[in-house]
Amino acid sequence: MRSVNLAFGAGVALVVLAGAMLLVRLPDAYSTLNDAAHAAAGRNELGGALATADSMSLNDDFVRNAFAEVPKNARYAVLLPRDEAAVEQADGVSAVTFDGVAALFGDYLLPRRQLKTAAKGTYIICFYCHAGAWSRRTHWLGPATGGGRIGYVYR
Amino acid sequence: MSVFGVLVLNLLFLLAGSCVLWGAGAWATWGDWAWSSGVSYMSGLCAVSVLATLVPIYGGGLSAGTILALVAGVGLAGIVVGIVRRRPFPTSSAARTAPDLVTLALAGVTLLLLLLFFRVARIEPMTSWDAWGFWMTKAKAIYYFGGLDLSIFRQTWPSYPILVPALAAMNFRFMGAADTTALAVQWWLLGAGFVWASAGMLRRVAPARVTWLFLAIFVALPQFDQRLLERTADWPLDLFFGVAACALLVWILTRETWLVVVFCVSLSAALETKREGLLLAACLVVAGLVAADARRRSTWLAILGAAAIAYLPAIPWRLWWTSRHLPGDTPPGGLVHATFTNLGQAPKAFALVAELTFKYGFWLGTAPLALVAAIVCLRASNRRAAVFFLAAFGLTFVGWAWENWAFVSEGYPITSDPSVNPTNRTVASLVVLATVAAPVLVGQLLAQRARSEAPEPVPAPASP
């Protein structure tokens, strides 16, 4: 009988604790979800690509240009600088941005296909790349924006 | 328009699952259907999504026609089984029991939180690295190109199973666009579906008030609110695991056959969602055998048989990536070698899993409460639920620690930093397990007073 009372008492105590836990958490849960809804409003430009670009410290106009200039059935390569560390120091670009830029375009630009290297008839998304080396066979589509530039390799 | 497409697809999941569960004998009246419709929805989603993974593996595209054929196939299979087993055509319920005010209030709080969450799900863009880094890239590749485009799948963790990309690709088809923002509604539906399904299954073995108390806490979990909508496979894996664990637990207590079907399809979905699904499935199967008396032929036949069937759809995927010699992401020297070579890291790994599982700021106190309830329940005459929970929790806990020490490397250190170690996400499975077990365990404790005045009752459906 005593163990029965102990078990029942434990059950009641656990319910009280769980109820208190819920009551204490509810205001925070409400404000977390409310804040998230307000923060998310109006951030869906280009299918959310700009929100991701912001989280990666990528320039919005650079991402917009990539969407505008690379046709949906085209192929492209993302080109990065040879010496990323130097650019990180000189222009304050983080290593995380360099790590993620190809994957970001690889996802958001689909169905455009990403290549490892650019070739004739493909596009270049140049992010702090050595643009001079490509200029002789690339038609640049607009000026550099936020370290990024879009080009078309014509030969 | 995109959100409408998601909702239509999910209604089809509900339809297919309802047919399957009618065939399995889960419901015979429309009232029963209403209570078990969450289970139907999750079962339909799991069954259709698991079959959908086979289509791109064999080179096909997930067109609208293919998806409708899969839904129809799953639904018809359920209907045929129902006719063969002579299930009665559903009738209207004779008796209706109104839920009490406390239950209604707790269910109302849960619903309110879910509705607030829906406001976020409708508009929140995808920003999680893993989501745009590979999960959604694979989904878009299936949607745009059909099959499994090797140029993309080779680059994006090729050995990871493809249920999440296939589910997302089906959503894209019904949206008419690869709208990853609206896709968050699918993840929200998975969360809501888990709550709905758990309530439907637990009403047979736990008091409704306690069930809704723990479900309300689940929806308010800080990590649930912050991470559910990431559009990665972490939360779907945990939710499928949670449905499988709940179905197995209730089956152990009631031995209703249809629960084995739910266990089988949700376990299959877990296996097809992430590689870690295999570890979670093994933990559930062993815990089930320990708790349900493995000496009985019906026990091992049901649990091992369902687990074997659940694993079958994973075989084509394994054949696909191994036959193309894609890397399997195993530690150098193989798993067994790494397990013993890195054994010195085990204490650190256990400490990390314990720290992250019981971190109140992440998961509140669900797991400790369930553990205390289970330990006290071990003194009761019917301790099957406690044994099942403690075995499943203990094995899963060891499993996550093992993953840490066996895979430890410079790129995968044992640390609570979520950018290099996934343990803060993987331990969600332990919290989900505690969420579905706690109402049963606490309910058993509360029933002790009544039992002291009456003979030991057998588990029976609780009032809704």
pLDDT at B460 over 50: no
The answer as to whether B418 is a domain residue is: no
Q: Alpha carbon B403 to chain centroid distance?
A: 20
Cα torsion B337, B340, B342, B347 to 10°: value is 150
* pLDDT score recorded for residue A2: 62
Percent of chain B whose pLDDT exceeds 90: 77
Residue of A nearest to B435 (CA): A18
Q: ipTM of the predicted structure? A: 0.91
B50-82 pLDDT tens trace: 999 999 999 999 999 999 999 999 999 999 999
Q: Is A94 on the interface with B (CB under 8 A)?
A: no
- pTM value is 0.94
Mean pLDDT along residues B152-168: 91
Look at A21 and B217 and tell me if their CB atoms are within 8 Å.
yes
CA B119 to chain A, closest CA, distance in angstroms equals: 6
Interface membership of B222 toward A (CB under 8 Å): yes
Band of pLDDT at residue B139, cut at 50, 70 and 90: very high
pLDDT band at B458 (very low <50, low <70, confident <90, very high): very low
Which pLDDT value is given to residue B457? 46
What is the pLDDT at residue B101? 94
Residues of B in contact with A15 (CB under 8 A): 210, 213, 442, 446
Residue B423 lies in a domain: no
Q: How far is Cα B125 from Cα A44, in angstroms, rounded to an integer? A: 6
B377 neighbourhood in chain A, CB within 8 Å? 7
B445 vs chain A: nearest CA distance in angstroms? 5
∠B179-B183-B188 over CA atoms, to 5°?
165
How far is residue B461's CA from residue B254's CA, in Å, rounded to a whole number? 9
pLDDT single digits (tens) B231-274? 999 999 999 999 999 999 999 999 999 999 999 999 999 999 99
pLDDT at B201: 96
What is the Cα–Cα distance from B186 to B103, expressed in whole angstroms?
27
Mean of the per-residue pLDDT values of chain B: 92
Q: Is residue B461 part of a domain?
A: no
Q: Does the residue B176 lie in any domain?
A: yes
Residues 117-146 of B with CB under 8 A from A: 117, 119-120, 123-127, 129, 132-134, 136-137, 140-141, 144-145
> 3-class SS at A22?
helix
**Is B442 inside a domain boundary?**
no
B446 pLDDT exceeds 90? yes
φ and ψ of B230, to 5 deg: -65, -20
Q: How far apart are CA B366 and CA A58, in angstroms?
A: 40
> Residues in chain A with pLDDT < 50?
none
Number of domains making up chain B: 1
| Subunit contact B379:A3, Cβ cutoff 8 A | yes
**Cis peptide before B236, with omega less than 30 degrees from 0?**
no
Q: Which residues on neighbouring strands pair with residue A152, listed in sequence order?
A: A123, A139
The residues spanned by each domain of chain A are 1-43, 47-153
CA–CA separation, A36 and B273 (whole Å): 27
Instruction: Assess A133–B contact: CB distance below 8 Å, yes or no.
Output: no
Q: Mind telling me how many Å the CA of A25 is from chain B's nearest CA?
A: 7
Closest Cα in chain B, distance from residue A11 (Å) = 5
Q: Which domain holds residue B33?
A: 2-88+103-323
Which among A14, A44, A110 has CB closest to B372? Answer: A14
For B295-347, how does the pLDDT look when each residue is reduced to its tens digit (9 = 90+)? 788 888 999 999 999 999 999 999 999 998 888 778 878 888 889 998 999 99
A16 touches chain B (CB under 8 A): no
| Contact between residue B74 and residue B170 where contact means Cβ atoms under 8 Å apart | no
